[in-house]
Structure 1
Amino acid sequence: MDEIKFICECCGEEHVSWPALTYNSPNSYHNLSDQEKEEIAVIDPDFCVIKYSDQEINRFIRCVLIQKVNDHCQDLEYGFWVSLSETSFKDYLENFDNENHETQYFGWLSNYISQYQFSNSIPTTVVTKSGNDRPEIFPHQDFDHPFVKDYYEGITKEEAEKRIREMLKN
């Protein structure tokens, strides 16, 4: 892993930057067979669409989530996929190249993080940003799940580094 060193504005010390923890696809796409991926799905770095035979269509976009790290100057960044409604997906797609498009959508987190158990998806607010940066997601604070609790309360540097090591192994 190439290390990127920088002087931290927070503490004035030299740090090595952490890699973003990214998922290459939403879980629904990952779980398809190779044949299904070719026949019913389309994916690129920012969008994924899966058209099932029963007329159900799942639409996903790639977003970022910033996890606060309480005892460190750097936060942990995730690259997640979120499912959107047809209306929200079309609006995002139509405005994808519009650097001034700022809005919010409701979405469902579509990746599962190995440190947590998931019985269902987590509701999120997807916030687009000017300048064509990837949208940022914010889990709904009233949703009872350990991931949501950790998002709002923060995690330790030790936990963040453990997650990075686990992701790099996989």
Structure 2
Amino acid sequence: MIDHGFVCRGCGQRHDGLAFSYGASAPAYWRDEFDGDERSVLEDETCVIDARHYFVRARLVIPVLDADQDFDWGVWVSLSRDNFSRTMDLWTTPGREQEPAYFGWLSTELPVYPVQTLNLKTEVHTEPVGTRPHVVLEPTDHPLAVEQRTGITVARVQEMAELLLHP
């Protein structure tokens, strides 16, 4: 097993492990005042805002070229009402991964990128029951899309950890 501990440039301390996964607990559009609103609900895997905006939690996977594991962003993606309804209809249905990908908008701001990540175009790919969908970004020159296509290094994972641990 490789020791991914590192001396942090943010605080100067040694961190024993290097996380290869970070996630958002809610879509960027969720506000605390939605709690108690019968038209808005935030659950572990799904979110509805004002009975008009629909979101699912998904994984945006980035290959790590010099490690034996990938980096995983836990993100939220908006879906159309019809696609969200279809997703819910198939939530516990074996074979649901055979569904064609759904169009979605990335609904998570990832602060380690120099440009906003909100509203990047995505394809949302359903996985087998019990596994979160995964997201493939439209192939643009956005730094996140480039990293998803070409991969990153452990040094980049450490850089992201330092930025997230010490904003």
Using the size of structure 1 for normalisation, the TM-score is 0.79
Residues 79-94 of structure 1: matches in 2 within 5 Å?
Answer: 79-94=74-89
**Contact 1:98 / 1:132 at 8 angstroms: preserved in 2?**
no
How far did residue 119 of structure 1 move?
7.3
How far did residue 150 of structure 1 move?
1.6
> Using the alignment, how far apart are the partners of 1:160 and 1:14 within structure 2?
14
Q: Tell which has more relative contact order, 1 or 2 (C-alpha 8 A, sep 6+).
A: 2
Runs of at least 5 residues in structure 1 that lack an aligned partner in the other structure: 1-6, 8-12
Residues 66-145 of structure 1: matches in 2 within 5 Å?
Answer: 66-102=61-97, 103=99, 104-116=101-113, 117-118=115-116, 121-141=119-139, 143-145=140-142
State the match for 1:3 in structure 2: none
Using the size of structure 2 for normalisation, the TM-score is 0.80
Divergent runs of 4+, >4 A: 13-17
> Using the alignment, how far apart are the partners of 2:102 and 2:147 within structure 1?
22
> Using the alignment, how far apart are the partners of 1:19 and 1:67 within structure 2?
10
SS in 2 for 1:126: strand
SS in 2 for 1:131: coil
Runs of at least 5 residues in structure 2 that lack an aligned partner in the other structure: 5-16
Cα separation, partners in 2 of 1:44 and 1:125, compared to 1, 3 Å: same
Residue type of the alignment partner of 1:18: A
State the match for 2:152 in structure 1: 155
